[in-house]
A and B are shown apart, each in its own frame.
Chain A
Amino acid sequence: MSRVGAPSLRTGLWVVLVVMVGVALGVGASRGSGPTDPRQQADALDAVLRCPSCDGISVAQSSASTAQAIRQAVLARARAGQSDGRIESYLESRYGPGILLRPPVAGATAWVWVAPPVALAAGAGALAVVFWRRRRRRLPDVTDEERRLVEAALRDRSPVPGTPPAPVPS
């Protein structure tokens, strides 16, 4: 059995995987860029607004009076044709940026958005370096003679000297 084609096949699989992840991320980022129905728009916004008098839950999840008031205001503004950004900035002008469960991209919270892709890129880079080094280190260790020996051994299925015999099933 020859394994000459294996590295190129593996590379191809990696490329396919990377392309699939890229496409999935692209589709996910571009999807849901604005429901046209005011009720849907309000529901989507309620899910990303923090209930100001609760502990870490969204306006959509809370029955507190402040959350109810915000739900009413969001729906009224959505029905008036206001965009998500405009409604969010109105609520920010009342409660501050903490009203958004999704932290803003600017300022001190920017690292929340920047860190994951940077960490992902760094991790991928580190893995690539490790694999590359391992491959470089391993290649000279296996000669063609040794490869032929291993392939012959696998074909014969003869036990390797020094290993204990396989257990007999009872």
Chain B
Amino acid sequence: MTLLDAGGVATGGAAPAPPRRRHTARWIAGVVLVAGAGLVALLATRPPQAATEVDTPLVGQQAPAIDGPTLSGGSFDLAALRGRWVVVNFFASWCPPCQQEEPDLVAFAFAHRAPTAAALVGVVFNDTAGSARAFMRSEGATWPAVVDGGGQIALAYGVVGPPETFIIAPDGRVVVHLDGPVTASSLDGWLARARQGST
């Protein structure tokens, strides 16, 4: 077969292709549209964020010191709470999950208002004292919140972004590290589990 023959065979029987291409484009557009609509539906209907336990190097270690001025003008020292269960919550007024969890923290603090019950303490994460104070006041939060100048307390706890919550055992060890917004019931559950684990 000569080159001319080959050329004749190759071009002679070819049918026009444009209609097929148009269909392909329509199919691709349809698939993209359906995928986009599915993604929107998934994001719109997914449940709100919940706290998850994270296994960080600090768990099982002595809790780093939390010592400094509070938003209300007083001072706080974590060491003074040795012998009690302590819940340390890193928060910021600008963080939506922190806003989501705040009513639950208020409920938790109220349920544990007895002097020997678990104590709740906040640590301001990358926020101004004024904004953090206004945020706590608007939510009715009355527990001490420590001002973390320079973010050194957050660094000592390995906090990446708020909200993050730590449960500290009466002997001063960090036993639970939670990432994300907590609820009053989930916090009670983690606390009960930590109590069981420490006995």
CB-based contact B152/A94 at 8 Å: no
B121 within 8 Å of A (CB atoms) = no
CB-based contact A69/B160 at 8 Å: no
B157 within 8 Å of A (CB atoms) = yes
Min distance, Cβ A82 to any Cβ of chain B, angstroms: 15
CA distance A92 to B57 in the complex (A): 8
Min distance, Cβ A29 to any Cβ of chain B, angstroms: 29
Q: Which residue of A lies closest to B153 (CB)?
A: A69
CB-based contact B158/A94 at 8 Å: yes
CB-based contact B151/A52 at 8 Å: no
Interface centre among B125, B126, B151, B157 (most CB of A within 10 A): B151
Encoded as 1 (CB less than 8 Å from any B CB) or 0, chain A from 133 to 158 comes to 00000000000000000000000000
Min distance, Cβ B192 to any Cβ of chain A, angstroms: 27
A109 within 8 Å of B (CB atoms) = no
CB-based contact A94/B157 at 8 Å: yes
Contacts of A72 in B (CB 8 A): 150-152
CB-based contact B151/A68 at 8 Å: yes
**Number of residues on chain A facing chain B (CB within 8 A):** 14
Kindly identify, within residues 47 to 105 of chain B, every residue whose CB is under 8 Å from any CB belonging to chain A: 56-58, 61
Given contacts A65-B126, A66-B160, A69-B150, contact A96 B155 (CB under 8 A): no
B161 within 8 Å of A (CB atoms) = yes
CA distance A104 to B156 in the complex (A): 21
CA distance A52 to B125 in the complex (A): 14
Given contacts A52-B160, A53-B161, contact A93 B154 (CB under 8 A): no
Contacts of A65 in B (CB 8 A): 125-126, 151, 154
Kindly identify, within residues 1 to 46 of chain B, every residue whose CB is under 8 Å from any CB belonging to chain A: none
CA distance A99 to B89 in the complex (A): 22
CA distance A66 to B61 in the complex (A): 21
Q: Which residue of B lies closest to A51 (CB)?
A: B160
Contacts of B157 in A (CB 8 A): 94
CA distance A66 to B58 in the complex (A): 17
Min distance, Cβ B37 to any Cβ of chain A, angstroms: 28
A118 within 8 Å of B (CB atoms) = no
Encoded as 1 (CB less than 8 Å from any A CB) or 0, chain B from 114 to 153 comes to 0000000000011000000000000000000000001110
CA distance A66 to B159 in the complex (A): 8
CA distance A96 to B154 in the complex (A): 14
Encoded as 1 (CB less than 8 Å from any B CB) or 0, chain A from 58 to 85 comes to 0000000110111011000000000000
Which one, A53, A66, A93, contacts B57 given CB within 8 A? Answer: A93
Q: Which residue of B lies closest to A68 (CB)?
A: B151
CB-based contact A94/B150 at 8 Å: no
Min distance, Cβ B99 to any Cβ of chain A, angstroms: 19
Interface centre among A52, A53, A95 (most CB of B within 10 A): A95
CA distance A69 to B156 in the complex (A): 10
Q: Identify 22 residue pairs between A and B in the complex whose beta-carbon atoms are under 8 Å apart, listed by A's number.
A: A52-B160, A53-B160, A65-B126, A66-B151, A66-B160, A68-B150, A69-B151, A69-B152, A69-B154, A69-B155, A72-B152, A73-B152, A92-B57, A93-B57, A94-B56, A94-B58, A94-B156, A94-B157, A94-B158, A95-B57, A95-B160, A96-B56
Q: A68-B150, A69-B151 are in contact. List 8 more A-B contacts (CB 8 A).
A: A52-B158, A65-B125, A65-B154, A66-B161, A69-B152, A93-B58, A94-B57, A95-B56
Residues of B within 8 A of A (CB): 56-58, 61, 125-126, 150-152, 154-161
